[in-house]
Every structure is written in C-alpha cells, then in structure tokens.
Amino acid sequence: MSTVPDIEAAIEQLDDRSLVQLSDWFEDYLAEKWEKRFTADAEAGKLDQLGAAADAALEQGKCRPL
C-alpha cells in the first residue's frame, strides 16, 4: 500500500484531465462515506437529541421559514 506522501507525489504528476477525474471521484467517495456515517448515526439514535431540540425550538416559535 502506498503512503500519503507517495499518493501526493503521484497526484502532482497527473495531467489536468486526470486531476479533474480524480477530484470528481474523491468528492463522490467522501460524500458516500459521509452519507453512510450519517445514516449509521441516525439509526443508532445519535441524532435524536438534535431532532428534539429542533422540534422544541419550532414549538417555541424560535424558527422562521427559510
């Protein structure tokens, strides 16, 4: 397996087209990882307190339409 410095050096050698392709892929990769983590946290109840706080703020009139 390559090290981060090896990967960085390889990225620096990419032409513009390949760099854009890598950037697009990495953006999609990070979004998918975030989505999986968010879903797991939600299913585990880790976001329940945030939801309850938002509901309470709405009921108290502390929110306004976007």
Query: 3-state class of 15 per DSSP?
Result: coil
Half-sphere exposure of 25 (CA within 13 A, CB side): 6
Cα–Cα distance for residue pair 66/64, rounded to 1 Å: 6
Contact 21, 14 (CB under 8 A): no
pLDDT of residue 61: 92
pTM (whole model) above 0.75: no
| Per-residue pLDDT tens digits of the chain, which is 66 residues long | 799 999 999 999 999 999 999 999 999 999 999 999 999 999 999 999 999 999 999 999 998 878
